[in-house]
Chain A
Amino acid sequence: MSYLEYNTKFVPTGLRKLLYLNWPIIMLLIAVACAGFLMLYSVAGGSSDPWMSRHIERFAAGLIMMLIVAMVPIWFWRNMAGVAYLVSLGLLVAVEFIGVERNGSQRWLDLGVMDLQPSELMKITMVMLLAAYYDWLPTHKTSRPFWVFLPVCLILLPTYFVLAQPDLGTSLLLMIGGAAVMFVAGVHWAYFATVISLGVGTVVAVFKSRGQSWQILQDYQYRRIETFLDPSNDPLGAGYHITQAKIAFGSGGWTGRGFMQGTQTRLNFLPEKHTDFIFTTLAEEFGFIGAITLLVLYVLIVFFCVASAVTNKDRFAALLTLGVAMTFFLYFAVNMAMVTGLAPVVGVPLPLVSYGGSAMLVLMLAFGMVQSAHVHKPR
């Protein structure tokens, strides 16, 4: 829709916009973030240092940023999509050369005030670009091979750089997230069927390649996959983390061991307890009830996003909202699957709960745009 078309409809202006925010989503985000605060307090052994206080600051900053972004009309963000994508891509390339290396991966850029993880930013800007692309593209061209090939390139380009960091988890999320946007934009299902069968073929090839000269994945990735398939193979080595995580998760029982009573967490048996594996701490301390509650909160966020999107007649806004919802869904679903032993450990944080600046800020930025789409919905 053009600006003129918008003017013909009712669009709230000024502070009235606050009333039209998607408040349920905001409340849910705050609830999830609070679970994060609680868990970070617990894993630090009952201390707001070093994680909880910074997490709160970031969330507050993220919330303000979200509101600011929400106030800006959605068409502005549509116009910014290309620029945002290029900036993200530039940062990704920069990481290759001047990135900070941690735990064997080069994923971060030192910005002075904070370390930025451009791959996180990329997840959102790619969704933006794809939404803008399909908004611009006439509907009848959507399934034409050239017009399918173009967004695929836009997805694969950043994926390549992320994979090179190496960061298998994020690159997979990028691809799946991008593909999801293309799917909801109406690209013919046959393309997806082809890609999926090719993907399965690739997986077979990947396993066949092990030990050969053309080995595709890194050894550690193979080990992770093997460990996932049977963690008992190497309980003290590669399988140690996931085994301990499962022990923590399972020992929670129905109601958990109580706040700050999780022995696995407090005694450091859990790896990455404040980042990727924080969900196990929650499950250990609050049990099945706590874990399922958090899952429901996440599902509700996705639900409200989808509800907002399907009622939105602006194609960009709808696609963007669905894309963000999909990315968000992938985040928590993959993370939870990972810590419960359903998926390999690929290093995906639990959105809003895991400690980490980039993911949190980028996510809030994304929800800012979702809010913007909701506020500026033509009514």
Chain B
Amino acid sequence: MLLGGVQLSVVTALGVRMQSMQVDQAEDFRLLAEENRINIRLLPPARGVIFDRNGIAIADNEQNYRVVMVREDAGDVDEALAKLLTIVDLPEETIAKAKEEIFKRPPFVPVTIADRLSWEEMAKININAPALPGIIAEVGLSRVYPWGAELSHVTGYVGPVSDFDLSRIDDNDPLLQIPKFQIGKTGVENKLERTLRGSAGNRRIEVNATGRVMRELDRVPGTPGKDIQLTIDARLQAYVQARLNGESAGAVVIDLEHGDLRAVASAPTFDPNLFVRGISVKDWTDLNENKYRPLAAKAVQGAYPPGSTFKMVTALAALEDGQVDPEETVWCPGFTEVSGTRFHCWKRGGHGNLNLHESLKQSCDCYYYEISQRVGIDKIAEMARKLGIGVKHDLPLSAVATGLAPDKDWKRRTRDESWRIGDTVNASIGQGYVLASPLQLAVMTARLATGRSVTPRIVRAIDGVETASGAGASLGINENMLRRIRASMDDVSNHLRGTAYRSRIVAEGNEMAGKTGTSQVRRITAEERAAGVTSNEDLPWERRDHALFVNFAPVVNPRFAVAVVVEHGGGGSKAAAPIGRDITLQALYGGPPPLEAYPSGDRDRIAEQQARIAEMMAAISTKATGDRA
């Protein structure tokens, strides 16, 4: 009976235990069971496509064919791989690496053997699928830049997300946890990452205790990233890149109507696709150690002394201030003495007596030495900022340069020194502390040409919704003064004595107005000057002058403004103006201009140049379209 009692109490205990677990705590346990079995897998969304202004894709998603192996289905891994090799040719090390990975993972996990297979290889694998147990050909999406190097400084590139990226950005998007998930690293891809990325979908899958997927429960598709249309004209951009080929230069074409950036080119450039696939150490070293810095987007990141292209700013500041009458003349003996220091004009013998118009046309330095002292640096800096120099333009591009429009306050703040009159004199001709990027110079020219506060924009539309126009409101500068500046710039290009006369446009109604600039990167000492200034050709590349040219065209009803900076290119009229002219013509005609637009003496040379560039562009466009076929 005692034993029976013991048995009864044990049975009761069991019953009570069951009751407490299954009835009282059922909810808790059921929750635990759900957590156990359901796993959420992310579905990466398709990244938004970047188009140029004409709807040509410049950053697209391509199908990435890859071949994966599931070990447990393959049976003999070596044999299966050997069979695969008879069908497609894969490098030895790829196979070795894949094999290592295959044996490291659980047998049911698909391991990528190779990716970026061609469509033919993919088809071959699929046809032979019955003979290839455990080997599956899959399709994923990967970024591709069909135009390659031509737009790399604008679009930037994507690359696999790294630990460094994760530590740097405050983003808890679960997508970033996907190994090798592609995120924008530079350029538009980086700045508009959130827009382009879209949001993750997910699928809930049931897994067993070892993590094997049993079945899919449901699937919530993600939101694909938004498509972005840029203001860039890919064909024009390709032309500019081709035209800059061989130089270390930056050039910007801005549309005066909306401030659209038609081309933002930097040379040399690089192929962004290298980064998408994971750049090799050799390629990376090559890019980094190249003294022409292919990775730098000089057109927006580069800050150069603007040289004589800054003279419009000084002149306009003086006119606005009422300190200078446009007809008043200044005597240029070849130098100006300011508080005991000689500031030289670029022309040794001097220009003689010049008024404002002549000083701009012939780019006399002494004139500006004189008027700048009257108007003062603060007014000049104010005008510079009004025209877009020393102001950071808000563009979704990497490291947009702020440049510098120095004033007294700036020098006191940053250098703890008082402003000297010599600083003003230097700044008046765009030397000294003044720094501007090609983009800022283009904006300056655009504002001079329109009198409006033209604001550059590079994103034309996001998902079909147009962004605000950059046309801008009136700057409030006296139109008569602007007209005088424009007339001078017209003569720079179209008057026999203008500094850019040799690079003029002769087509009726398409003439351009411009301004050359040559900025020193070294100081010319008195002794050197006495011995005769060494010509640029005899200097090592790094010490040669920067060549600059800004222009707008046509002179009447202007449509485009262009700025070109050729690093260490020598003289602005010789090195930069021809480039500016060619780019302008290309933009005006929306393609190769007729030879009649060029001065008659140059036409043979230009024809040859056009043929050369046409060949380069043909190569690019077949590449761009060939990849798509």
Binding site for B on A (CB under 8 A): 180, 183-184, 244, 246-254, 263-264, 266-269, 283, 287-288, 291-292, 295, 299, 302, 306, 326, 329, 333, 336-337, 340-342
Q: CB of B539 within 8 A of chain A?
A: no
Name the CB-closest residue of B to A299.
B11
* Interface flags, B153-168, vs A, CB<8A=1, else 0: 0000000000000000
Chain A residues with CB under 8 Å of B3's CB are 180, 183-184, 326
8 contacts between A and B (CB under 8 A): A247-B33, A250-B22, A254-B26, A287-B22, A292-B15, A329-B10, A340-B14, A341-B17
Residues of B within 8 A of A244 (CB): 36, 209
Let me know if B208 and A267 touch, CB within 8 A.
yes
How long is the Cα–Cα vector from A66 to B522 in the complex, in angstroms? 111
With A263-B37, A267-B207 already in contact, the answer to whether A252 and B14 are too (CB < 8 A) is no
Residues from chain B with a CB closer than 8 A to the CB of A292 are 15, 18-19
Q: Once the chains bind, are B22 and A247 in contact (CB under 8 Å)? A: no
Whether A267 contacts B209 by the Cβ 8 Å rule is: yes
For A267, list chain B residues within 8 Å (CB): 36-37, 206-209, 214
Complex-state Cα separation, A288 to B22, whole angstroms = 6
Closest CB in chain B relative to A285 CB, distance in Å = 12
Contact of A251 among B2, B33, B214 (CB under 8 A): B33
Query: Would you list which residues of chain B between 203 and 220 have a CB under 8 Å from chain A?
Result: 206-210, 214
Which of A184, A269, A326, A336 sits near B14, CB closer than 8 Å? A336
Within the assembled complex, what's the spacing in Å between the Cα atoms of A340 and B11?
13
A295: which of B11, B29, B32 is its contact (CB, 8 Å)? B11
Which of B19, B29, B37, B210 has most chain A Cβ within 10 Å?
Answer: B29
What is the CA–CA distance of A299 and B207 in the complex, to the nearest angstrom?
38
Question: A268, B208: Cβ atoms under 8 Å?
Answer: yes
Alpha-carbon separation in the docked complex, A253 to B34 (Å): 14
Q: How far is the CB of B1 from chain A (nearest CB, A)?
A: 10
Residues of A close to B209: CB separation below 8 A:
244, 267-269
User: Which chain A positions have C-beta within 8 A of B13?
Assistant: 337, 342
CB-CB nearest in chain A for B19? A288
A257 and B34 CA atoms in complex are apart in Å by 12
Is B7 on the interface with A (CB-CB < 8 A)? yes
| Residue of chain B at shortest CB distance from A340 | B17
Complexed CA–CA distance, A184 and B3 (Å): 8
**B36 surroundings in chain A (CB, below 8 A):** 244, 247, 263-264, 267, 269
**Pair A295/B14 contact, Cβ less than 8 Å:** yes
**A333: which B residues are within 8 A, CB to CB?**
7, 10-11, 14
Question: A291 to chain B: which residues have CB within 8 Å?
Answer: 18, 22
Q: How far is the CB of B91 from chain A (nearest CB, A)?
A: 39
| Chain A proximity of B14: nearest CB distance (Å) | 5
| A247-B33, A268-B208, A269-B208 known; A342-B14 Cβ under 8 A | yes
A266 CB contacts on chain B under 8 angstroms: 208
Would B210 and A295 count as touching, CB distance under 8 A?
A: no
Q: What is the CA–CA distance of A295 and B10 in the complex, to the nearest angstrom?
A: 11
Residue numbers in B under 8 Å from A246 (CB-CB): 21, 29
Q: By DSSP majority rule, is chain A's interface helix, strand, loop, or mixed?
A: helix
A337–B13 alpha-carbon span in the complex (Å): 9
Which residues of chain A are near B14, meaning CB under 8 Å? 295, 333, 336-337, 340, 342
B208 touches A253 (CB 8 A): no
Verify A250–B26 contact, CB threshold 8 A: yes
> A247 — nearest CB in chain B belongs to which residue?
B32
The residue of chain A having its C-beta at the shortest distance from the C-beta of B38 within the complex is A263
The range of chain B's interface size is 20 to 34
8 Å CB contacts to A: which residues of B188-226?
206-210, 214
Q: Of A180, A251, A268, which contacts B26 at CB under 8 A?
A: A251
- In whole angstroms, how far apart are the Cα atoms of A183 and B23 in the complex? 37
Find the B residue at minimum CB distance from A264: B33
- The yes or no answer to B30 lying at the interface (CB within 8 A) is yes
Main secondary structure of the interface of B (DSSP, over half): helix
Closest Cβ of chain B: how far from A232's Cβ, in Å?
12
| Across-interface contacts of A249 in B (CB, < 8 A) | 18, 21-22, 29
Chain B min CB distance to A44 (Å): 14
Q: Is the CB of B30 within 8 A of A302?
A: no
Assembly CA distance A340 to B28 (angstroms): 15
Q: Which residues of B contact A263 (CB under 8 A)?
A: 33-34, 36-37, 206
B25: Cβ under 8 A from any A Cβ? yes
**B10 to A, closest residue via Cβ:** A333
- Asked whether any CB of chain A lies closer than 8 Å to the CB of B464, the reply is no
Q: How far is the CA of A184 from the CA of B4 in the complex (A)?
A: 10
Residues of A within 8 A of B19 (CB): 288, 292
Chain B residues with CB under 8 Å of A337's CB are 10, 13-14, 17
Instruction: List the A residue with the shortest CB-CB distance to B4.
Output: A306
Asked whether, in the complex, the Cβ of B4 is within 8 Å of the Cβ of A283, the reply is no
Among B10, B21, B36: residue with most chain A CB under 10 A: B21
| Contact (Cβ within 8 A) B28 A250 | yes
The 8 closest A-B pairs by CB, nearest first: A250-B29, A253-B26, A267-B208, A288-B22, A251-B33, A251-B30, A251-B29, A268-B209
Docked pose: A314 CA to B206 CA in angstroms: 59
Q: Which residues of B contact A342 (CB under 8 A)?
A: 13-14, 17
Cα A254 to Cα B10 in complex, Å, equals 22
- A251: B residues at CB distance < 8 A: 26, 29-30, 32-33
Is there an interface contact between B18 and A283, defined as CB atoms closer than 8 Å? Answer: yes
Q: Which residues of B contact A329 (CB under 8 A)?
A: 7, 10
What residues of chain A lie closer than 8 Å to B34, measured between beta carbons? 263
How far is B37's CA from A244's CA once the two chains are assembled, in angstroms?
11
Residues of chain A with a CB closer than 8 A to B2's CB: 183
Residues in chain B near residue A183, CB distance under 8 A: 2-3
- Please, which residues of chain B bring their CB within 8 A of the CB of A326? 3
Q: Hey, which chain B residues are within 8 Å of A268, CB to CB? A: 208-210
| A254 / chain B contacts, CB cutoff of 8 Å | 22-23, 26
Nearest A residue to B22 by beta-carbon distance? A288
Nearest chain A CB to B11's CB is how many angstroms away?
6
Distance of A244 Cα from B208 Cα, bound (Å): 12
Least CB distance, B72 to chain A, in whole angstroms: 15
Chain B residues closer than 8 Å to A264, beta-carbon distance: 33, 36-37
Give complex CA distance A252, B23 in Å: 8
| Most-contacted residue by chain B among A244, A253, A333 (CB, 10 A) | A253
Chain B residues closer than 8 Å to A306, beta-carbon distance:
4
**A340 lies within 8 A of B21 (CB):** yes
Least CB distance from B543 to A in Å reads 67
Chain A's closest residue to B30 (CB) is A251
Give chain B nearest CB distance to A10 CB in angstroms.
Answer: 29
Which of B7, B10, B17, B18 is the most central at the interface, judged by chain A CB atoms within 10 Å of its CB? B18
A267 to B13: give the CA distance in the assembly, Å: 30
State in angstroms the CA–CA spacing of A269 and B206 once bound together.
12
- CB of B17, distance to nearest CB on chain A (Å): 5
CB of B416, distance to nearest CB on chain A (Å): 63
Contact with A along B61-82 (1 / 0, CB 8 A): 0000000000000000000000
B31-67 vs A, Cβ < 8 Å mask (1 yes, 0 no): 0111011000000000000000000000000000000
